[in-house]
Structure 1
Amino acid sequence: MSDILTRDLVVASGRATTRDEAIREAGELLASSGAVTAQYVDAMAERERTVSTYMGNYLAIPHGTNAAKEAIVRSALCLIRYDEPIDWAGNPVRVVVGIAGVNDEHLGILGKIAVIFADEDEVRRVLAATTADELYDLVQRVNT
């Protein structure tokens, strides 16, 4: 199995300034890598309208609806860090992790991300990272 997180799917300084822009930015990153189709990007926005993907500790994990499973080509995740917090329905978000999982692989991926972001020292390191290489090194263990 290939890595679900590759260096090209890590962005150290995202462009988005709103929640909807951040979801689209993450979705387009997944789509440009060939992991999902454009339909999945729309499904990520649709999911957010029904259930917030805010997870705490400056983290949001947008992902598509169950109905969009056929729009996933392969399991992947992307990570985008923002210099300034994005208002995520009243919560500050500085890290967006977009997830696409074939079958139920997204559950394992979510678990690995949750372990990293449950540790406040790890969160501080992620927020302080200034390059995509630093970020990748901090979170690449999701590939194991």
Structure 2
Amino acid sequence: MEPGAKLKPWGNLSTSLVVSGQEVNSAFLLAELQLADSAEFSSSEGVGIYSGPGWATFTVDERHSKSADEQAAELIRFLSPRKLALDALKEAGKPVKVDMAGVAESGSGLYVSPDVLAGLAELGVPVTFTTVRASGEDEEDPLAWLD
């Protein structure tokens, strides 16, 4: 798909570095990526660290840009100088990936430019895509009538 083509983007889009493991949390990820003292990180709109039991993410969300390409480029901009830290996380046995997640509706798409895809490849971590259902949407199986 050409960049100029009119394609409705995924809704609620976010692009994240996801790290999993027993002791992984926000403080762990901030320290590992050496972001705790980064003025650039703390002043970036739509860029943050989130965590739950056994996982943490470094996320660029729609407040930064609604474009998957721009979100991934921003993530690459932060992570490229920290590639050694990413490699250390992988060597320590931590599952590490980049995930692009959002609500994919009929007629929507996700465009990522070749340059950004190359930048993601240079990070050396898998890239996954997660689609989620919009809240309030009917969860009935649309093919249930076939029974």
TM-score normalised by length of structure 2: 0.29
Q: Compare CA radii of gyration and give the structure with the larger one.
A: 2
Q: Name whichever structure is richer in helix by fraction.
A: 1
TM normalised by structure 1 equals: 0.29
